[in-house]
Amino acid sequence: MQQELHASPLVADPTHLGRDAVVGATETWTWQQVHEASIALARRIRGASAVCNLCSSRLAFLITLLATLRNGSLMVLPPSGSDADIAAVLNAQPDTIVVGDAAPGVDPACEGAIRQGVYVACRPEWKPCSASPNDLVWQPAWDAVAVLLHTSGTTGDPQPQPKTLLHLATGALVLGTRLAKEIEGGLGGVDHLVCSVPAQHMFGLECSVMLSLVHGTPVLDRRPLLPADVAAAFDEAGRAAWIATPMHLRGLVRSGASLPACAYAIVSTMPLGHALALQFEQLLAAPVLEIYGSTETGALAMRRTARETRWSPLDGVSLDPVEGATLGRGAHFASPVQLLDEIVVEANGFFTLLGRQADLVKIAGRRASLAGLNLLLQDLPGLGDGVFYLPATGNPTERLCLIYSGPPLERAAVRRWLRARLDPVFLPRDFIRIDRMPRSETGKLRLHSLDLAYSDWQAAARPQRGKRSAVARERAVA
């Protein structure tokens, strides 16, 4: 593996320098130009012990990452761009700076850093190549902690997760090997990567940054979100792989848009339902590969969800059940790692995912997984977006709520549809309609955000408690 990494675009190997790296709206950047820009940025940020990378474009993110690595600094990827999360990053250690690519006054996440004088703008301009290969070559500190990511906070506060460059690069090698087994040609069978996930998330970092750095596959310098934007991106990119979340797939399927240039989709960040995967494959005539992994480990296993329910571990990965959890081992993360998910492993190494203890709810003596219940909602007719939520009241008779956004739902029709598919004790007692589900850029929901939505609904509904009217129970949270 080390030999492959030493011949990769990551270290400015001469065989890659003239090849495409990032495809922009007006220019295509080669690996040589990307490395030249990283050297220029490295001079500007020299002396920073840590660099908080808020760049939204793939080009600026990639340049900032390489500049940080060349300087031997730590790159920090915050759990979000909120003032609190950025402040926490800046306060974690001295001499931390923030690098972003938004125009002044556009990105609120950068305002605090600008006020403190620790903001550096990275808005690269395309220039002809000038440096020689000898000027660009470098040797990374492979075993040093290079990147600090954070967990999503879906079950609590986000937790920091340090990564060495060797772990991240090895993960890209392992993932690329698996893609070649699943799809004829693998990464070599596509011209570009189109990514709808931010690079600050582990899934986005793995698939839109590290895959490109290690295998040399060019990435489109856009993050299309809406179906029309995705279709336009594929029109520009040619034959490409789409890196997305189930939410993106759901939007595309509902729109009926066609992506004739999509070779395959790689999906993660939340469970993908079989029905949605099948609908996508029928619409696009392209396979959907779902990744199982975590921020702590990166990708661990893969399946073609439209055809398979079991997961197959990536090469070198082993997963062993322990009481209420799973121990994961692999070459691309610090092993072993205890995962909160419970699995059933077969003799051939394939496994079935049961869920996690923290995700289980017990109502009237019955147990269910919230993730499994929420997966069911992907097929609920008329639902814009929503999740089941169990208020943390400690009341033994507490029941689930349905927190959702989009058009108002007819309670009786929803309950009939759900009753045919789950135990009646898990039918939602309250329907809480809000303006917008507080999802992160990767589609995840922080538990704190759901707690807040429920508290706001309670406060709004309290004056009407005596009436117990359906109108009051459907009140939208402003």
pLDDT in tens, 16-59: 999 999 998 789 999 999 999 999 999 999 999 999 999 999 99
* SS3 assignment, position 419: helix
> DSSP letters along 181-233, please?
HHSTTGGGG-SEEEE-S-TTSHHHIIIIIIHHHHH---EES----SHHHHHHH
Average of per-residue pLDDT values in the chain = 87
At residue 472, does pLDDT exceed 50? Answer: no
Using CA atoms, how far apart are residues 432 and 10, in angstroms rounded to an integer? 48
One-letter amino acid at 324 equals G
pLDDT at 155: 58
Q: How many CB atoms lie within 10 A of CB 305?
A: 24
Cα–Cα distance for residue pair 16/320, rounded to 1 Å? 39
* pLDDT classification of 114: cutoffs 50, 70, 90: low
Residue for token pair 């919230």: 370
Residues 63, 53: Cα–Cα separation, whole Å: 10
Q: How far is CA 44 from the centre of its chain?
A: 30
Query: What's the pLDDT score for residue 461?
Result: 73
pLDDT winner (highest mean) among 102-106, 288-292, 355-359: 288-292
Instruction: Copy the structure tokens of residue 324.
Output: 């209420």
> Is 207 within 8 Å of 197 (Cβ atoms)?
yes
